[in-house]
Amino acid sequence: MTTPAYAAGSTSIPMIDDTIGADLAFTIERFGDREALVDVPSGRRWTYAEFGRAVEEVALGLLAKGVAKGDRVGIWAVNCPEWVMVQYAAARVGAIMVNINPAYRVHELGFVLRQAGIGVLVASVEHKTSDYRRMVEQVRAECPALRDVVYIGDSTWDGLLGLGERVRPELLAEREAQLSCYDPVNIQYTSGTTGFPKGATLSHHSILNNGYFVGELLGYTETDRVALPVPFYHCFGMVMGNLAVTTHGSCIVIPAPSFDPVATLHAVERERCTSLYGVPTMFIAELNLPDFATYDLSSLRTGIMAGSPCPEEVMKRVMTEMHMSEVAICYGMTETSPVSTQTRADDEVERRTGTVGRVLPHLQVKIVDQAGGATLARGEAGELCTRGYSVMLGYWEEPERSAEAVDADGWMHTGDLAVMDEDGYVRIVGRIKDMIIRGGENVYPREIEEFLYSHPKISDVQVIGVPDEKYGEEVMACVVLRDPAATLSRDELARFCRGRLAHYKIPRHLWILESFPMTVSGKVRKVELRERATTSLLTAARAS
């Protein structure tokens, strides 16, 4: 008799039935004198007691600005202590924090501000080439709900804290008493294969427990110090990172505003970090530093590698040369808060590199036939589905798209092709959707295609992912020009995109075609297009 490709996680450890604010208060009560947050670039650090007071100051400021339960507070900033404070403060006042990718430009920013109905936006002033204040002013007139913008590090941030001094703390306690752990607390935008991004809406219960169980499987205690070079705007940073840390009384260590391999290893060495996170390309960049061997990483024991498939040799080097013998692989998606499966510290190396582990506690996963939806046998490839506390409440104000993703029985259909072995380990073998994973960033072709259609020279466009040694996949735009006699260079296309699309969405390759390969029914054969493009790139690489 065959075993169904279905697995349920352990229920031996109870879930947390508190709000994020209540859980933080519990941690402060137990570990008030221990360090909670360290910002290496500025040298600032907070104990849990101090961090709790800083969060309360921001929460009182939000109340003073009239933020009501269920209001949307946007956060558009690079990694910094204030980002973390806003995360917990928004939860304490019952607001729904909306994460905005700091790589977004005006095209994407305006959409998110409008779609989520953001009333208060907290933003960085600038970072590298990004002038956030200028971009906000460019879209503000088109965003009627946006009534206030606070910039981290300038007088408006001081003003937020100053306003909070006029609010009685009892009002915050009254607000928190009105909250439920099942209330929505976070919206994270995940691009769809058609049109603009969708706002996955997550509850206190879903992200708090997901962070908690990720931390449990990593063996976190109050003695752990976790280096987080991954972005806070993503679940990797704010759930697997921040919430996994604070539910265990561990310490968040911020190496830099955005990923920098030197800053990351410096932070690990200086702060004696026990855990380090990253997508594979981050670990590769760290291992490839000319002076890598000079860093003392002996304090490390664990961490997470996630975001895209991990090469086995890289995993082995991380385990040995970086001392991360207990490093874990996690798999999931924004809509599932995010982690569904995770490897364990005692798994064999082959399973920690060739699979994405087993189902998390209190969750269920199954592999189903794409056509009929029936559960397949173990060893058969089909669509991976997840059910349980982690599944999103839905896409913000998009019930039809929510119903397409989560079926009537509560199963989230991931769109990923997977196989489950006899021991319950899951291996991802492909993607039903055309999503491109570039260095851990999910890139959805349709969004870029919609934008490129506005280029005056382009008649038709298909965006595909092609293999890339550094990022795993890169973005290629396959284009049919309006005028066959015209020309369009990749640099010209990139200039058109800059400032309007996030940098990782800008096509690295451009392929001009007379027409696309089509099916009998008139659909573009993207699989064939991808195969031809890959062959062409390989041929060109050999010739050079």
CATH number, domain containing residue 449: 3.30.300.30
- Domain extent at residue 139: 49-179
Instruction: Identify the weakest region by mean pLDDT among 33-37, 444-448, 525-529.
Output: 444-448
End position of a domain, from candidates 179, 214, 246: 179
- Report the pLDDT value the prediction gives residue 191, as an integer from 0 to 100: 65
Rg (alpha carbons) of the chain, rounded to whole number: 23
How sure is the predictor about 5, in pLDDT bands with cuts at 50, 70 and 90?
Answer: very high
CA–CA distance from 259 to each of 135, 146, 263 (Å)?
Answer: 23, 30, 8
- The whole-angstrom separation of Cα 24 and Cα 219 is 19
Per-residue tokens: 282: 């981050």
Instruction: Give Cβ neighbours of residue 156 (< 8 Å, ≥ 6 apart).
Output: 149, 150
Looking at mean pLDDT, say which of 167-181, 278-292, 346-360, 415-429 comes out highest. Answer: 167-181
Centroid of chain to Cα 283: 17
Is residue 87 in some structural domain? yes
Total domains in the fold of the chain = 2
What is residue 329's predicted lDDT score, i.e. its pLDDT?
A: 95
Residue written as tokens 């960085």? 124
417 band by pLDDT with thresholds 50, 70 and 90: confident
pLDDT at 193: 40
Please name the amino acid found at residue 520.
Answer: V
**CATH code of residue 68:** 3.40.50.980
Reported as a single tens digit per residue, the pLDDT across 160-210 is 999 999 999 999 999 999 999 999 999 999 864 445 789 999 999 999 999
Residue 520 in this model has a pLDDT that exceeds 60: no
Any domain includes 146: yes
Higher pLDDT, 440 or 237: 237
Whole-number pLDDT of residue 195 = 56
- Each residue's pLDDT tens digit, 242-285: 999 999 999 999 999 999 999 999 999 999 999 999 988 899 88
Would the pLDDT of 310 be above 80?
no
The mean predicted confidence, pLDDT, of the chain is 93
Contact status, residue 331 vs residue 210, Cβ threshold 8 Å: no
Tokens of 173: 């306690």
Output the pLDDT for position 194: 44
Q: Which of 62-76, 203-217, 512-526 has the lowest mean pLDDT?
A: 512-526
DSSP 243: I
Cβ neighbour number for residue 290 with a 10 Å cutoff: 6
For residue 55, tell me if it sits in a domain.
yes
| 88 touches 62 (CB < 8 A) | no
DSSP 24-71: HHHHHHHHTTSEEEEETTTTEEEEHHHHHHHHHHHHHHHHHTTPPTT-
Specify if 364 maps to a domain: no
The pLDDT of residue 433:
67
Q: Measured between alpha carbons, how far is residue 311 from residues 287, 326, 358 in Å?
A: 13, 17, 19
The one-character DSSP state at 336 is G
In contact, 328 and 217? CB cutoff 8 Å: yes
Q: Which residue has the tokens 């976190």?
A: 220
pLDDT at 146: 98
Residues 6+ apart with CB under 8 A from 498: 506
E strands of 124-240, at which residues? 126-127, 130-131, 148-151, 184-190, 198-203, 225-227
Residues 280-306 have pLDDT tens digits of 889 988 998 999 999 999 999 999 998
The pLDDT-based confidence of 542 (bands split at 50, 70, 90) is: confident
User: Distance between CA 319 and CA 145 in Å, rounded?
Assistant: 49
Residues 500-528 have a mean pLDDT of 83
**Which of 179, 202, 225 is the endpoint of a domain?**
179
Helix (H, G, I), strand (E, B), or coil: what is residue 190? strand
Read off the pLDDT of each residue in 381-409 and give the average, rounded to a whole number: 96
% pLDDT > 70, the chain: 97
What are the DSSP calls for 379-415, one per residue? Answer: T--EEEEEEETTS-SEETT-HHHHHHHB-TTS-EEEE
pLDDT at 71: 98
Among candidate residues 128, 156, 179, the one where a domain is terminated: 179
**Whole-number Å distance between alpha carbons of 540 and 73:** 48
Q: Which residues of 228-248 are buried (b: 16+ CB within 10 A; e: fewer)?
A: bbbbbbbbbbbbbbbbbbbbb
372 vs 380: CA distance, rounded Å? 14
> Worst-scoring range by mean pLDDT, 59-63, 76-80, 345-349?
345-349
Structure tokens at 198: 């969708």
User: Three-class SS of residue 123?
Assistant: strand
Mean pLDDT of 80-99: 98
Q: How many other β-carbons are positioned within 10 Å of the β-carbon of residue 445?
A: 24
The end-to-end CA distance of the chain, in Å, is 55
Q: Is residue 367 part of a domain?
A: no
Q: Does residue 338 have a cis peptide bond before it, meaning omega lies within 30 degrees of 0?
A: yes
**What is the per-residue burial (b if ≥16 Cβ within 10 Å, else e) of 263-287?**
bbbbbbbebebbbbbbbbbbbbbbe
CA distance 77 to 74: 10
Highest mean pLDDT among 245-254, 313-322, 476-485: 245-254
- On whether residue 150 sits in a domain, the answer given is yes
**Which pLDDT band, with edges at 50, 70 and 90, does 335 fall under?**
very high
> Identity (one letter) of the amino acid at 19?
T
For residue 315, what are its two tokens? 């995993």
293 assigned to some structural domain? no
Which of 63-67, 84-88, 322-326, 453-457 bottoms out in mean pLDDT, i.e. has the lowest?
A: 453-457
Asked whether residue 142 carries a pLDDT value surpassing 70, the answer given is yes
Residue 118: inside a domain, yes or no?
yes
Q: Which of 242, 251, 250, 324 is nearest to 282 (CA)?
A: 324
Tokens representing residue 425 in the block: 């380990």
